[in-house]
Structure 1
Amino acid sequence: MKDSNRIRSTTVCAVLHNGEVAIGADGQATMGNTVAKSNVKKIRKLQDGKIVTGFAGSTADAFNLLEKFDEKLNSYGGNMKRAAIELAKDWRTDRFLRKLEAMMIVADKEEILIISGTGDVLEPDTGIATIGSGSMYANAAAIALKRHAGDKLTARQIVEEALHIAADICIYTNHNLVVEEVK
């Protein structure tokens, strides 16, 4: 029986705001209802920082997907959308990849995508993408902050505050954040 809490046991948030893109995640790793580690880095830079990824789910599965995504990026000349689509196709059809329990957000300076194991590559209309157990809390907070921030907040500040709000509510999310901005 699969542990459905695995995929939801973190929070990742990406925001495109005023021409800036930031992506962040909390650092909590859980095993069931126990905190196993509080400072896991779930954000990775690829293509010399031009693409930043965040993952939720089983760590081993997420690293496997990250490696496959990086291979796709290299195969398609750094074209993030094409690499994401090709990864999603493989993820859906490959017998080994199909069993992986993770999700990814990938971002470059112009767009944010969510990649799932069901073959989805989603580009959010709002310029906000969230995954993980606290994703709905972070999403709601980021929407409100972005809507009312105008030029007062940066994309990074919106991500940080949205993740802190999620951490205040979601027991699988903590305040140990890693936030990166896309070059």
Structure 2
Amino acid sequence: MSGSSSQMESWHGTTIVGVRKNGKAVIAGDGQVSLQSTVIKPNARKVRRLGAKDEKGGNVIAGFAGATADAFTLFDRLERKLEQHNGQLMRAAVELAKDWRTDKYLRNLEAMMIVADRDVTLILTGNGDVLEPAAGVAAIGSGGNFALSAATALFDYEEDAEVVARKAMKIAADICVYTNENVTVEVIEGAA
């Protein structure tokens, strides 16, 4: 029972949303780090750019939910996979997911990621999932369902992906106690 309780705690502490629309790919995340009911840090950076530029000149952006050390391990592994596969995010993500599911060490990591480049937005999980959201919106973390609902509702009414992501994060922060309004946003222009 203690294993499931500690796993549950690791998933409470963030909201990450990804929006792809009108030539922009955006990932936004809050800055709150919580330990049980205590805010440990209000300004963590859970969204960042990864890897070298791909052949089209765009970077990969990524956001994580879950245990911080685990997420940094996954960021590092994804960067290496991007280097091995010439910046091809889909291929690098699939290879990371294979390793994550089968490697003894990686299998125990408790995190999820949203990653995006000019061509694709993906959700990566430790179950080996590489999921491409159908509607241009993805969200993970404790406030993920709030952000997903808000972004989905705003999607048809807002033209700018960044505006959709920021508004969705504001709504999630107003509802989820594990999410704050200290938001980090990364944008890729010229996305498909």
Aligned 8 A contact 2:47 2:61 in 1: yes
Deviation at 1:20, TM superposition (A): 1.0
Cα distance in 1 for partners of 2:94, 2:17 equals 20
Cα distance in 2 for partners of 1:8, 1:108 equals 27
Paired residue for 2:174?
168
Taking every aligned residue pair, what percent have the same amino acid on both sides?
48
Given the alignment, which residue of 29, 39, 43 partners 2:47? 43
Paired residue for 2:29?
25
Regions of 4+ moved over 6 Å: none
- 2:185 partner amino acid: V
Unaligned runs of at least 5 residues, structure 1: none
Given the alignment, which residue of 152, 156, 165 partners 1:159? 165
- 2:157 partner amino acid: H
The alignment partner of 2:90 has SS state of: helix
- 2:95 partner amino acid: E
Aligned 8 A contact 1:17 1:155 in 2: yes
Aligned 8 A contact 2:150 2:171 in 1: yes
Given the alignment, which residue of 121, 126, 150 partners 1:112? 121
Unaligned runs of at least 5 residues, structure 2: none
TM-score, normalised relative to structure 2:
0.91
TM-score, normalised relative to structure 1:
0.95
Paired residue for 1:143?
152
The alignment partner of 1:148 has SS state of: coil
- 1:82 partner amino acid: R
Aligned 8 A contact 1:55 1:104 in 2: yes
Number of residue pairs the alignment of both structures matches: 180
Aligned 8 A contact 2:31 2:184 in 1: yes
